[in-house]
């Protein structure tokens, strides 16, 4: 379990072979499961539709047009 900047807590689940994050849940929103897009090796995987933590993304990252942004 990790605490975010706002104090919210998330429980992460990792691959037992490589240690990569497979999915996580956020306290208070357990009905939703977040899966990092990097967990998929399929190049045809659909682009994200919702973005969070944009202040932390690398300068070279470009988000798709029309994506929803979390303030």
> 49-69, pLDDT tens digit by residue?
888 778 888 999 888 888 888
Q: Domain span at residue 25?
A: 2-69
Q: How many domains does the chain have?
A: 1
What's the whole-model pTM score? Answer: 0.57
CA distance 60 to 17: 30
Quickly list DSSP for 3-37: E-TTS-EEEEEE-TTT--EEEEEETT-TT--B--G
Q: What is the pLDDT of residues 19-53, one digit of tens each?
A: 988 999 989 888 889 888 777 788 888 877 888 77
């Amino acid at each position: 379990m990790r605490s975010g900047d706002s104090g919210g807590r998330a429980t992460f689940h990792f691959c037992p072979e490589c240690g990569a994050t497979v999915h996580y849940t956020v306290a208070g929103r357990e009905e939703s499961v977040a899966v990092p897009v990097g967990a998929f090796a399929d190049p045809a995987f659909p682009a994200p539709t919702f973005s969070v933590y944009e202040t932390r993304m690398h300068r070279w990252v470009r988000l798709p047009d029309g994506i929803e942004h979390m303030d």
